[in-house]
Amino acid sequence: MSKRDYYEVLDVSREASADEIKKAYRKKAMQYHPDRNADDPAAEQKFKEAAEAFEVLKDDQKRARYDRYGHAGMNGGAGGFGGGGFSSQDINIEDIFDRFGDIFGGGDIFGGRGGQSRGRGRRSSGVPGSDMKMKLSLTLEEIAFGTEKKLRIKKYVKCDSCNGTGAETDEDYMTCSTCSGTGELRQVSRTMFGSFVNVQPCHTCNGEGRTIRNKCKSCRGEGRVKGEETISVQIPGGVKTNNYITLSGRGNAGIRGGENGSLIVIFEEQEHEYFVREGDHIFYDLQISIADAILGTDVEVPTLKGKARLKVEPGTQSGKLLKMKEKGIQRLNSTARGDQFVKVNVYIPTKVSDAEKKIIQKLKEAPNFDPLTQKENSNGFFSRIKDMFS
Ligand SMILES: [Zn+2]
Ligand SMILES: [Zn+2]
């Protein structure tokens, strides 16, 4: 059966960029998707053909080889084509989704472990990378409005020399002879109760199904090396200490093409110089003079976004809470916002001059300064004190 040219299959030029190839494949995949072409063998064949072309053209090494040798370069026996013998004649649709799941799903970083496919009977290639955890300290301002952070992470990254395969060249990849590439060893034991099949990962290839003849020198066959990655993280407003997000695929690189682990970022709220947080609200202690409390004033107070003016009405009592609407913290996953509460504290001086003492002495004698004579308090606390003493 003669094969069509891969570039022709995807309808792209030979100079097409990786992005153009991905887009072209996506278009074809959608067009010939089995869900849209039920019981249409021709469409199914086209769908598989596109997947096969993409499998080669998306990979720089395979593409280069295809460019040089054509289809002949792709059928080089056991090691020829990623060891999997991936050709449109014998693949099934599930396999295509397993390999290219990410192209159909959005890949949203907040989507938890989405886009990953595990096992399902097919042996996975490589060993998955481990998850990583890190703490991220955030200011109250960052929490209040949400923020973007760039994180520099030391971790295992894919080895560039071997493109993560761990092999010096593609030809150094061999199907494991112990398990014939299945990655597992089956042992049947017969007992009087019947036969039992014991399945264990192959010890020669550690369940990978493949072994490497000449290991890549840069990574000593691991397919990954110690490195660093800078990751941008979008942090929504309203998070709390110990809230976390899981960035799937951003943890340690897997061994020899194994799935990457996840990066789990745990938030930690920094203590603020002025504000105390309670849920979505913040509290601020304001000091004003006795005179301002009596006469009223207009003060400048800090907020989570610069300074703001706040009116203190004449006759404001010490301890009163003034509300600055929606100057608090964004509610998580909502556009609503908490308030800023300003607690008024009337400042009592601890040192006074003789001249000041004289003024205070005068105020002491003024009738409006004696709480016990105040009518508005007649039913409250002060009247009860008055009763006690009269
Ligand atoms: Zn390597
Ligand atoms: Zn094996």
User: Measured in angstroms, how far is the CA atom of residue 211 from the centroid of ligand 1?
Assistant: 14
Q: Is 88 exposed, middle or buried (0-12, 13-18, 19+ CB in 10 A)?
A: buried
Same domain, 204 and 174: yes
User: Measured in angstroms, how far is the CA atom of residue 80 from the centroid of ligand 2?
Assistant: 18
- Asked whether residue 203 is domain-assigned, the answer is yes
User: Measured in angstroms, how far is the CA atom of residue 161 from the centroid of ligand 1?
Assistant: 5
pLDDT at residue 282 in the model:
97
Chain mean pLDDT for the chain: 82
Q: Comparing 26-30, 54-58, 187-191, 382-386, which segment has the lowest mean pLDDT?
A: 382-386
Same domain, 13 and 89: yes
Same domain, 38 and 94: yes
Same domain, 78 and 15: yes
User: Measured in angstroms, how far is the CA atom of residue 301 from the centroid of ligand 2?
Assistant: 70
- Cβ atoms of residues 232 and 224 within 8 Å: no
pLDDT at residue 386 in the model:
56
Q: Which ligand is nearest to the CA of 210?
A: 2
Percent of the chain with pLDDT over 70: 82
pLDDT digits (tens, 9 = 90+) for 230-278: 999 999 999 999 999 999 999 999 999 889 999 999 999 999 999 999 9
Confidence of residue 75 (pLDDT cuts 50, 70, 90): low
For 390, the domain range is 359-390
pLDDT digits (tens, 9 = 90+) for 14-34: 889 988 998 898 888 888 877
Confidence of residue 228 (pLDDT cuts 50, 70, 90): very high
Q: What are phi and psi of 262, to 5 degrees?
A: -100, 155
Q: Which ligand is nearest to the CA of 218?
A: 1
Mark which of 49, 76, 104 sits at the end of a domain. Answer: 104
Confidence of residue 379 (pLDDT cuts 50, 70, 90): low
User: Measured in angstroms, how far is the CA atom of residue 158 from the centroid of ligand 1?
Assistant: 8
Tell me which residues have their CB within 5 A of the ion that is ligand 1. Answer: 159, 161-162, 216, 218-219
pLDDT at residue 384 in the model:
59
| pLDDT average, residue stretch 275-287 | 97
The pTM (predicted TM-score) of the whole model is: 0.59
Q: Is 229 exposed, middle or buried (0-12, 13-18, 19+ CB in 10 A)?
A: middle
- Asked whether residue 353 is domain-assigned, the answer is no
Same domain, 258 and 281: no
Same domain, 115 and 201: no
User: Measured in angstroms, how far is the CA atom of residue 24 from the centroid of ligand 1?
Assistant: 30
pLDDT at residue 90 in the model:
40
Residue matched to tokens 């001249």:
355
Same domain, 142 and 258: yes
Residue 47 clears pLDDT 70, i.e. is over it: yes
- Asked whether residue 354 is domain-assigned, the answer is no
pLDDT at residue 118 in the model:
38
Q: Which ligand is nearest to the CA of 225?
A: 1
Q: Which ligand is nearest to the CA of 174?
A: 2
Mark which of 68, 83, 104 sits at the end of a domain. Answer: 104
- Of residues 337 and 30, the one with the higher pLDDT is 337
Same domain, 178 and 246: no
Sheet holding 263-269, edge to edge: 132-138, 263-269, 244-247
Q: Which ligand is nearest to the CA of 166?
A: 1
pLDDT at residue 117 in the model:
38
Residue 324, token pair as written in the block:
């600055």
Same domain, 35 and 96: yes
User: Measured in angstroms, how far is the CA atom of residue 259 from the centroid of ligand 2?
Assistant: 19
Same domain, 335 and 385: no
| pLDDT average, residue stretch 97-117 | 36
User: Measured in angstroms, how far is the CA atom of residue 256 from the centroid of ligand 2?
Assistant: 14
Same domain, 183 and 298: no
Count of domains observed in the chain: 5
pLDDT digits (tens, 9 = 90+) for 187-209: 888 877 788 888 888 998 888 88
Same domain, 48 and 162: no
Q: Which ligand is nearest to the CA of 209?
A: 2
Tell me the CATH number at 265. 2.60.260.20
Residue 121 clears pLDDT 90, i.e. is over it: no
Mark which of 81, 104, 127 sits at the end of a domain. Answer: 104
